[in-house]
Structure 1
Amino acid sequence: MTRDSAAVKRPTEPKSSAEDVVQTFLQSIDSGKRSEKPYRHWSLADCLPADTLEDVLVLPFEAPSLEGVSGKRELHNNTRKYFDVDNRKAFPVCEAVAQAFQDKRVTSHIEKVFGTDLSGTYLRMEFAQDIDGFWLEPHTDLGVKAFTMLLYLSRDPSHADLGTDIYNADKTHASRSPFAPNAAMIFVPGDNTYHGFEKRPIEGVRTSLIINYVTDEWRAREQLAFPDQPIA
């Protein structure tokens, strides 16, 4: 299964540096739009430099088969991909993006704008590739996640209606975030932050980057970008 991007040779250096990612993302935060219903969340655009988005889209990770099972991402833990220690070493763009989101300027601005405390948390970045048949039941992310950012990547025009589904506290459907490449939905997990993905047709591969800061209670340390470096 291939994504909407063509296979190319992996660059030896990222087209945009970690510093470029920092500056672009900080500007994106400051231009974001906040919504209060059904819970506080933000919509961002132009989150990454265009060159960085291009490099991420051509990462040579195959979209895994669902094998007829969906509803929770953890059902497929053995095939999930992360900007982890190994992939940071292997792919310069993974290193650049991870270093940017580990940067104190970014974490401090996240704390200030979104009202969360990242002290002692760890960066976790999942490269998600969803194919037809994928769906997610409503869930809150409450627990060990102190911040959730769903960064949409794929550029297929048919993906315009593949944004995250947002639910009321009683799990009835409230709205759907707009899906556009390099746009994102952000929220601080709480007991009412229900979100998911209603099953609907997916052409090709719905690609996104799921960015969390998780507490020290996170058991799967191999998923973390910097497992020995908590946010100061």
Structure 2
Amino acid sequence: MNSLAAAPRHEGPYRHWILSDVLPADLAAEMDALPFDAPALNGVSGSREIHNNTRTYIDAEAIARHPACAAMAQAFQHPETVAAVEEMTGARLGGCCLRIEYAQDTEGFWLQPHTDLGVKKFTLLYYLGPDGQPDLGTDVYADADTWSHRAPFTPGGAMAFVPSNNTWHGFEPRPIPVVRKSLIVNYVTEEWRAREQLAFPDTPVTGRHGG
């Protein structure tokens, strides 16, 4: 909540926030050290959906096995956190469910520009690390074909936005010398079909505004 409140808001090419120190340092370190294997790309990339069968989530099993995952999920599930996100960004999260992906990207990974528009009502791209790789941040686009700028890849930092028809973002092909770890935090509507990916599939968040 403090991180979001202090985050500068950028209006171009669409409204987004650049956060710092999103998680307490000890929790961030524990999340970075989780024993999850980086999935093999097998020479194919461009969208995360291509590798659905090897993606990792902070799901019910991860929450039960790893205290750090439980703390992370409970923090983003908490009504005060949800209310703060709504208040600062205008997102309408009531009735949504929390989805957190633990992403580990390796050499050959790239993402075509996309908007997240649809069942995702809020997106936060949190950078776990490693440090010293500022060029590994999210690419921001003015439209599907026009690159604008790159968010700084700073461990503990994040980029946040409310998905709309112009929130184009992706990851341009470039060298990834080390595993690029990040957390992709979304609040998704009840229409999300892959319920097993959700942190609390039977417990929607409580927001100040309707779903």
The gaps in structure 1 that reach 5 residues or longer are 1-25
Q: Which residue matches 1:117?
A: 92
Q: Which residue matches 2:153?
A: 179
Structure 2 residue 45 is the aligned partner of structure 1 residue 70: yes
Q: Segments of 4+ in structure 1 off by > 4 A?
A: none
Q: Verify the 8 A CA contact 2:131 2:154 in the aligned structure 1.
A: no
1:161 to 118, 131, 135: 135
Give the share of equivalent positions with the same residue, in percent.
Answer: 56
2:167 to 185, 189, 193: 193
Alignment partners' CA distance in 2, 1:193 and 1:43:
14
Q: Map Cα deviations across residues 154-179 of structure 1 (whole Å, 9 max, x no partner).
A: 1241x210100000125300011011
Alignment partners' CA distance in 2, 1:48 and 1:171:
33
2:61 to 72, 82, 86: 86
Q: Which residue matches 2:209?
A: none
Alignment partners' CA distance in 2, 1:100 and 1:171:
36
Alignment partners' CA distance in 1, 2:95 and 2:151:
30
Structure 2 residue 198 is the aligned partner of structure 1 residue 221: no
1:143 to 114, 118, 137: 118
Q: Map Cα deviations across residues 20-79 of structure 1 (whole Å, 9 max, x no partner).
A: xxxxxx110111010000000000000000000110011000101100000000100111
Alignment partners' CA distance in 2, 1:84 and 1:118:
19
- Seen in structure 2, the aligned counterparts of structure 1 residues 170 and 96 have a Cα distance that, compared at 3 Å, is closer
Deviates more, 1:101-110 or 1:169-178: 169-178
Q: Which residue matches 1:59?
A: 34
2:2 to 27, 50, 63: 27
Q: Verify the 8 A CA contact 1:148 1:187 in the aligned structure 2.
A: yes
Alignment partners' CA distance in 1, 2:76 and 2:103:
18
Q: Verify the 8 A CA contact 2:124 2:186 in the aligned structure 1.
A: yes
Q: Verify the 8 A CA contact 2:134 2:154 in the aligned structure 1.
A: yes
Alignment partners' CA distance in 2, 1:230 and 1:93:
21
Per the normalisation by structure 2, the TM-score is 0.96
- In the comparison of the two structures, how many residue pairs are matched? 206
Structure 2 residue 109 is the aligned partner of structure 1 residue 134: yes
User: Match of 1:168, SS?
Assistant: strand
User: Match of 2:129, SS?
Assistant: coil
Q: Verify the 8 A CA contact 1:171 1:194 in the aligned structure 2.
A: no
